[in-house]
Amino acid sequence: MSSTLPRTTLPKTSDATFAADVLGSDVPVLVDFTASWCPPCRMVTPVLEQLAAEERDRLRVVQLDVDADPETARTYRVMGLPTMSLFRDGEVVASVVGARPRAAITREIEPFLAPR
């Protein structure tokens, strides 16, 4: 079982860089907790890539491989994959568990993003 995630345009974060990449960010960050062996994770990646491109002024989207970097997933009690957690000012303000359509993801995170 490989811990290499499929090719994506989404930047990666890790246990070592999570504080700087996510907790210290001045914009909200949607963390995609994912794994290479997870088919629903692969299904949601293109949706997140599109969301990241279209909302780049209001949001960053990063991936964290839970197999390669389990500490952060454990800290935030990630129990199912994919889990997408929105961090704002260093705190989780919204989470979506499971592969969801873009509209469902957007509905959960929109209240926490800057106005357009």
Q: Is residue 38 annotated as part of the catalytic site, yes or no?
A: yes
How many whole angstroms separate alpha carbon 2 and alpha carbon 67?
A: 9
3-state SS assignment for residue 96: strand
Q: Is residue 41 annotated as part of the catalytic site, yes or no?
A: yes
How many whole angstroms separate alpha carbon 100 and alpha carbon 110?
A: 15
Residue 97: half-sphere exposure toward Cβ, Cα within 13 Å: 6
Which one of 41, 81, 96, 99 is the catalytic residue? 41
Which one of 38, 47, 73, 78 is the catalytic residue? 38
- The catalytic site residues sit at 38, 41
